[in-house]
Structure 1
Amino acid sequence: MEVIAIQKSALDGMKNELKALLELTEKATQKYTPIFKEEQWLDNQEVCLMMNITKRTLQTYKSKGLLPYSKLNRKNYYKLSDVRALLEAGQLDNTTEDGFIHE
């Protein structure tokens, strides 16, 4: 076992920094927890499976503004309610394989 000695002031400083970090983490958790409790969020793969579409078609829906999304850590998430609304709206009935809508 290795023993490392540090000054008490350095240890106290580390404790204070860890306490501040813990407080920031708790505040962030309190801020965003209600958002995720209110709504179920889906990732790209889940949306593609649910809608029976390709990733390219999903990208087209995003680009055309048909399906709103949120980005978190370079990953897209979609509200389940938005996906269901798009499916129920029937806007996809005239969508071709390439994801474009032809009227």
Structure 2
Amino acid sequence: MEVIAIQKSAFDGMKNELKELLEMTEKVTRKYTPIFKAEKWLDNQEVCLMMNITKRTLQTYKDKGLLPYSKLNRKNYYKLTDVQALLEAGQPYNTDGNGFTDQ
């Protein structure tokens, strides 16, 4: 077992910095928790399966502004209500077997 000795002031400083980091993390978590609890969010794969579309078609929907999304840690999320609304409105593009869209 290895023992490392540091000054009490350095240890207290590290302790305070960790405490501040924990408080910042909790603050951010409190900020975003209601958003995720109030609404069911889906990722790309879930949306593609639900709508029976390819990833490329999903990208087209995003590019055209047909399906709103939010990005968190480089991953896209979609509100279930937005996906359902697009399904109810009818998918604006149909894909043929090779993945191209007919407009």
TM-score (norm 2): 0.91
Matched, 1:22 2:27: no
Aligned with 2:94: secondary structure?
coil
Aligned with 2:37: secondary structure?
helix
The 5-angstrom pairing of residues 2-21 of structure 1 reads: 2-21=2-21
How much has 1:63 moved relative to structure 2?
Answer: 0.7
How much has 1:89 moved relative to structure 2?
Answer: 1.2
1:58 — aligned with what? 58
Distance in 2 of aligned mates of 1:75 and 1:19: 29
The one-character-per-residue Cα deviations of 1:26-82 (angstroms, maximum 9, x if unpaired) are 101111000000001111000000000000000001111110001111111100010
Distance in 1 of aligned mates of 2:73 and 2:89: 30
Task: State percent identity of aligned pairs.
Answer: 81
The 5-angstrom pairing of residues 49-88 of structure 1 reads: 49-88=49-88
Contact 1:56 1:99 in 2 (8 A): no
How much has 1:95 moved relative to structure 2?
Answer: 2.0
Contact 1:61 1:99 in 2 (8 A): no
1:95 — aligned with what? 93
How much has 1:99 moved relative to structure 2?
Answer: 3.7
4+ aligned runs moved over 3 Å, structure 1: none
Distance in 1 of aligned mates of 2:21 and 2:58: 38
Equivalent pairs, count: 99
Contact 1:69 1:79 in 2 (8 A): yes
Show structure 2 runs of 5+ residues with no match. Answer: none
